[in-house]
Amino acid sequence: MNEKNSKIVFHNIFGEGVVLETRWDGIESRVKFRSGLCLWLPTKWLKTLQIEEKELDIISSRRLVEAFRLGVVPHQDIESFTFGRAYEIDLFQKALDSLKNGNGGVFLVEGEYGSGKTHLAEYLRHLSLKQGFATGYCELHILETPPYRPKKIYHELVYSLRYIKDGCERGYRDLLREGSGIGMSDHCFLTPVLKRIKDMEEGDLHSEVFWQWIEGESTKEYATDRESPFRVRGGQHIPALYDFSTAADFYNYILSGLSYIARNLGLGGLVLIIDEFEVINHIWEYHLQERGRAFLEGLIRVALNDEEMKKIDKYLLHNQVRPTPYAYKETHILLMLATTPGEDDWATRFIKNKITLRKFSRPELELLFNNLLKIYRTAYPDFMIDQKLQNEIVNKAFKRFSNELRMFIKYSIEAFDQIRFSKKISY
């Protein structure tokens, strides 16, 4: 392809890339990303950048610097900006290999605030996607995604769910479309859903409403209001997606069913990454905390393929509308939980694989600093800083933030900014 005519685009997961070709009257584009991935994607998912290819490095570096000012690394740059975590990555890779062979599991990653546990979680998400696993991500939040509202967590996981197959990025809807052909006959929720999807006409307004309902987005009125023009058609014989906090069994049952679909589609299984796991301990109402723990404990034990999860047990939390087991058949889930230390003792009795993020050494932080400087110089080609000043910034950053990776990054970038704007720095 002629580079001068190359179209530069941006994707919110994979970052910047060059369009190599299009098909189906431009509906899909094949894009080569800076990470090396080359994927067919719906063109509507891509944002066109009005830049020349020679400017791509500057634009990408400035986007990185903007994220560094907040002390974070964008998802699309995770692979090229991860240092000092070879041990943890190797363990997770072994877990992915085990999942590919049919065995799920659970990882608990502990790290203080700012230590890089969210960064590691994002890296593992990227690694899982790159290797073809269906991967979902959820960050627990006391208001937005509290553990005692399993429907909200379900929605976040399926909304973020992605996988790469045949060189194309695909999502939850694609998983269910493909799953409609595997002959899943005895799942109380997914079986009628897959049957409905198989017979559904795409592009119809009611079909879109149905999809939103399945994804946990739509409201009760879609299914119950006979006067609504957007009432779900074909959903009358499908158990509702329950809003109440006692539905821990139902959503675990759905997620385990999704792992069965992923496995049977040749994707290896389902990788679920949950960050801010410690939120469960910040819920002060006792009954809500216990219901949240029931959901999370159920998910952990489902991922461990606990036989007790495959039956309705009166000692476990079950909804009273349509009680289900927590697990559907053999489960194929790799669950990664990221948390702060010392607040998850109730969960550790189930989890053998526990990693505490170690403190970075001085040489590792110096390597990180040098990479920050390299990216900053690419973003701002006229930026100048002498070696003496570099050493001063590294020494200050190491002294103040050797235990806080996020603040180390943020401090270094702010120091560069101050030099660039004022040609001097004060501490």
pLDDT tens for 279-308 read 998 899 999 999 999 999 999 999 999 999
More confident residue, 177 or 8: 177
pTM surpassing 0.85? no
Q: At what angle do helices 56-68 and 362-379 cross, to 10 degrees?
A: 130
- CA 241 – CA 193 distance, rounded (Å): 12
97 pLDDT higher than 70? yes
Would you place residue 223 in the very low, low, confident or very high pLDDT band (cuts 50, 70, 90)?
A: low
Average pLDDT of the chain, as a whole number: 86
Q: Is 115 exposed, middle or buried (0-12, 13-18, 19+ CB in 10 A)?
A: buried
pLDDT for 111: 84
- The encoded tokens of residue 369 equal 């600093």
Would you place residue 427 in the very low, low, confident or very high pLDDT band (cuts 50, 70, 90)?
A: very low
Among residues of the chain, what percentage have pLDDT more than 90?
A: 44
pLDDT for 247: 93
The alpha carbon dihedral of 201, 207, 210, 214 has a sign of: positive
Would you place residue 370 in the very low, low, confident or very high pLDDT band (cuts 50, 70, 90)?
A: very high
Start-end of H helices in 82-171: 86-100, 117-130, 150-160
Where is average pLDDT lowest: 83-87, 185-189, 378-382, 389-393? Answer: 83-87
- CA 118 – CA 174 distance, rounded (Å): 27
Quickly count: other Cβ atoms within 10 Å of residue 166's Cβ: 8
Where is average pLDDT lowest: 28-42, 169-183, 248-262? Answer: 28-42
Among residues of the chain, what percentage have pLDDT more than 70?
A: 90
Q: At what angle do helices 190-198 and 172-179 cross, to 10 degrees?
A: 90
**Residue with token string 């699309």:** 76
344 pLDDT higher than 60? no
- CA 275 – CA 115 distance, rounded (Å): 13
Question: In this structure, are residues 305 and 106 in contact, taking their beta carbons and an 8 Å threshold?
Answer: no
Give per-residue pLDDT as tens, 108-145. Answer: 998 888 778 888 888 889 899 989 999 999 999 999 99
Question: In this structure, are residues 332 and 99 in contact, taking their beta carbons and an 8 Å threshold?
Answer: yes
Mean pLDDT to the nearest integer, 352-362: 85
DSSP string, 106-117: EEEEE--TTSSH
- CA 327 – CA 384 distance, rounded (Å): 59
